[in-house]
């Protein structure tokens, strides 16, 4: 196998969660370009339909879509049955679905805390537990989850304790599952992005926070692009990373160096 072949996903059946926009959309696009059959999952049905149409308009094969909220184990179990009937079993899972919001710790409501942990951490576990089951049975597969540099550092100036804790949990979940499943042929890794140019931060463009903290604190001096995160995900999912498991690849432009 050549190095180019090892870095591709030809013949893989990939599921990307939270793929209606942003990083998830870019990952789905990169997986298609790498030769995979791709299914996308999101709770936003309209956004999911639009994403599939947009990818199809670029000459890709029609994507399989499934609507589900990753915070509900029951909904995901139903989505798994639906997906297997229409798409087949998944051998590569990309856990991207997540939310972000800021609130001072002393003011954060119980509902806000619970929602963050349920979607950003429990949702990753639910998806992995369900969709990796056929991989374990087959003795091969790959899981890549989107963590964050915020799981490794407390970035400034925004108060985001729940987000930081959830993403730190994703990193430890990655390590724990990798250790359990390595003998059974399933690799589990994560990517920890820094500040990426998505709609989530578009409203901050031109602000002091963006200039002084986010871009100003990044050694490379710019935001990352979704496609750059997607490239890291494809690498970890591919046979080019066949001896890599339990790792978190930090893609933050050097932000966490300081």
The candidate with the shortest Cα–Cα distance to 158, out of 117, 116, 100, 119, is 100
- Packing angle, helices 161-181 and 110-117, rounded to 10: 30
Edge-first strand order for the sheet with 13-17 is 64-67, 37-42, 13-17, 92-95, 141-146, 186-193, 248-251
Active site residues: 163
**To 10 degrees, the CA torsion angle through 174, 175, 179, 184?**
20
Task: Considering only CA atoms, give the Rg of the chain.
Answer: 18
The answer to whether the Cα torsion of 177, 238, 170, 127 is positive or negative is: negative
């Amino acid at each position: 196998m050549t190095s180019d072949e090892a870095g591709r996903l030809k013949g893989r059946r990939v599921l990307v969660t939270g793929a209606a926009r942003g990083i998830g959309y870019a990952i789905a696009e990169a997986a298609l370009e790498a030769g995979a059959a791709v299914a996308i999952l999101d709770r936003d049905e309209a956004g999911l339909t639009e994403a599939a149409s947009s990818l199809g308009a670029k000459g890709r094969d029609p994507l399989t879509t499934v609507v589900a909220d990753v915070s509900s184990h029951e909904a995901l179990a139903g989505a798994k049955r639906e997906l297997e009937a229409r798409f087949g079993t998944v051998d590569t899972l990309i856990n991207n679905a997540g939310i972000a919001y800021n609130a001072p710790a002393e003011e954060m409501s119980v509902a806000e805390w619970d929602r963050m942990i349920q979607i950003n951490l429990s949702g990753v576990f639910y998806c992995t537990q369900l969709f990796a089951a056929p991989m374990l049975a087959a003795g091969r597969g790959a899981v890549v989850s989107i963590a964050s540099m915020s799981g490794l550092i407390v970035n400034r100036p925004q108060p985001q304790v729940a987000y930081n804790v959830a993403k730190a949990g994703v990193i430890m979940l990655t390590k724990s599952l990798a250790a359990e499943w390595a003998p059974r042929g399933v690799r589990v890794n994560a990517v920890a992005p820094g500040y990426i140019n998505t709609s989530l931060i578009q409203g901050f463009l031109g602000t002091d926070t963006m200039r002084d903290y986010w871009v100003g604190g990044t050694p490379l001096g710019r935001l990352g692009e979704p496609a750059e995160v997607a490239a890291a995900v494809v690498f970890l999912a591919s046979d080019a990373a066949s001896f890599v498991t339990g790792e978190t690849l930090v893609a933050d432009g050097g932000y966490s160096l300081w």
